[in-house]
Amino acid sequence: MSVKVQHLIKTYNTQHAVDDVSFEAHAGEVLGFLGPNGAGKTTTMKIITGYLPQSAGTVQVCGFDVVSQSIESRACVGYLPEHNPLYRDMYVLEYLQFAGGLHGVKNVNKRADEMIERTGLQSHRHKQINELSKGYRQRVGLAQAMLHDPKVLILDEPTSGLDPNQIVEIRQLIRDLGKEKTVILSTHILGEVEAVCDRAVIINKGKLVADSPIEALKQQFSGQNLVTVEFSQSVNEKQLLGISHIQSVKKLGERRWQLVSDVKNDVRADVFAFAVSNQLTLLELHKEVFSVEDIFQQLTR
Amino acid sequence: MPTTALLKILLVVAAFSALMLVPRFFRSGISAIYKKEINAFFASFIGYVVIGVFLVIMGLVMWVFPDYSVLDSNYASLETLFSMAPMIFMFLIPAVTMRSFAEEKQSGTIELLTTRPVTDWQIVAGKYLACLALVVFALLPTVLYYITVYVLGQPQGNLDSGGILGSYIGLLFLAGSFSAIGVFASSLTNNQIVAFVLATFLCFLVYLSFDFLSALPIFYGKTDDIVQSFGIQYHYSSISRGVIDTRDVVYFLSIIVLFLAATVLSLGRRRW
């Protein structure tokens, strides 16, 4: 278990920022940490990295408690904080060497070169961080997080402020990292979770509302099957309800209907048979797929 | 006095263990922070400005302004240097130390720094040593003044070298104390100007205020000596006489440790 969070509670004055959250993250997986703004994502990450102390509960990173074995646990974490703070007057290479020095990395120069190559900063290594665009700064932030080859990477909104091409590159990088390391990334871009993460932890108002693989999450939330169908001729509701397994119907347009059935049964074959037997022409027939957006909205409303 | 003997032994032990720490220093995070801070001083010109301003003021006072100048006073002494330097340090050292934590807090880099596998003590020590080193760099060229006055003496070399050495040691301790105060002030705020003003005020308080306080009627003629001994001035002038008294050394070390410990506490405030 690379990261183990148990009954984590963080209170500011009387307000619960994080309220009894438990989850685990394992090596070789990318965990998406989802939630609306102010849900407690960043607070949880700050506790995991040892920046803030929790009010109650325990957090273990690589088997080390983040409070009592703080230095050991910090040594195996790479952290990209929200807003990616950097020393603006330092040079890229100089900054990476500094980060390596703090972690006691041997062969700092070689390692820094590797990271520069991996994050595509080759032509910027001798530039001042000040001169870099936001996308390149984000790469510097990632490079410093990976520099000491940590087992756990905590990335707080790693793709914020990047252009679409950069987002694709960084996501690929994170996926590659996730093959061997434990990556926890927070985001409010839902497409990112689908594109990068194996598992999602969703929190809302400090409380854990979901923790499961993305696919399972989708199935779980499509508690019913929705099929949209359009005929060339008009049909009435009664006829449609006559089709087996259909629980309810909803009129969407002149000849468009939404048919609801339970998860187990795919009614499309029955709908087709119905159309044939009634000599109706099918213009459209498709099954609605629940998106992560729908799940997110349902859970965090 | 047995207590002084004990203190001396303690001091030797402290110095020895400090020496033992030197190799560890180069491997630990302290050296990484120290190097980064020194580089930052010279990358942002703060370093050059501080050294330049200090030397220009010292040069003017020592050799040009007739009221203070060595050439006009006709005495082969560095008295002017040692009486003026603390006043300049009172403003210059806060200018050196003001960014050490305030800037990190302002830019948010403190979050990354404090989540590295280094203790808060190492962070404070690295930054403190860098500030102190910069002040020492500024002080080093004044050795030229000593050589000049040495040559100008009549007969040549007719000056109190022991006293001067003592004064340099005193000045180093004073700079060390001011740096600790400055680093502490910087850790209290995320605004560099607030850090500067606060540090200057605290330096003034610790350096001079006890002397002024001792003149109050409730102390004067009774306990004014004790009140004075709380201030840096008292111990600085004591060391400047050329006698390294353990009491003065212990005083300066206590001030430094006190303010650095306060800095570590203030840095850990987020954990309260």
pLDDT digits (tens, 9 = 90+) for B124-177: 999 999 999 999 999 999 999 999 988 888 888 788 888 899 999 999 999 999
Range of the domain at B90: 3-271
pLDDT digits (tens, 9 = 90+) for A75-130: 999 999 988 999 999 999 999 999 999 998 888 999 999 999 988 889 998 999 99
Residue B131's pLDDT is what? Answer: 95
B27–A104: do the CB atoms touch at under 8 Å? Answer: yes
- Model pTM above 0.90: no
A169 touches chain B (CB under 8 A): no
Residue A286's pLDDT is what? Answer: 82
Nearest to B131 by CA among B9, B230, B26, B260: B260
A98–B32: do the CB atoms touch at under 8 Å? Answer: yes
B116 touches chain A (CB under 8 A): yes
pLDDT digits (tens, 9 = 90+) for A103-115: 988 889 999 999 9
Q: What is the largest CA-CA distance in chain B?
A: 64
Q: Which pairs with CB-CB distance under 8 Å and at least 24 residues apart come from A94-100?
A: A94/B39, A95/A129, A95/A140, A95/A144, A96/A140, A96/A143, A96/A144, A96/A147, A98/B32, A98/B35, A98/B36, A99/A144, A99/A147, A99/A148, A99/B116, A100/A147, A100/A148
B112 touches chain A (CB under 8 A): yes
B32–A49: do the CB atoms touch at under 8 Å? Answer: no
Does A179 score more than 80 pLDDT? yes
In this structure, what token pair is assigned to residue A86? Answer: 């950097």
B73 touches chain A (CB under 8 A): no
pLDDT digits (tens, 9 = 90+) for B74-97: 787 888 889 999 999 999 999 999
Sign of CA dihedral A281, A287, A293, A299: positive
Counted domains in chain B:
1
Residue to test with chain A: of B28, B116, B120, B271, most A Cβ within 10 A: B116
Average pLDDT score over residue span A170-186: 90
Angstrom distance (rounded) from CA B151 to CA A185: 69
Interface of B with A in 25-44 (CB under 8 A): 27-29, 31-33, 35-36, 39-40, 43-44
For B29, nearest residue in chain A (alpha carbons): A102
For A79, nearest residue in chain B (alpha carbons): B112
B116–A102: do the CB atoms touch at under 8 Å? Answer: yes
Selecting from A51, A86, A101 the residue whose C-beta is nearest the C-beta of B115 gives A51
Is-contact A4 A59, C-beta < 8 A?
Answer: yes
Q: For residue A28, what are the contacts with CB-CB under 8 A and spacing of at least 6?
A: A178, A179, A180, A181, A182
Q: What's the mean pLDDT when you consider all of chain A?
A: 87
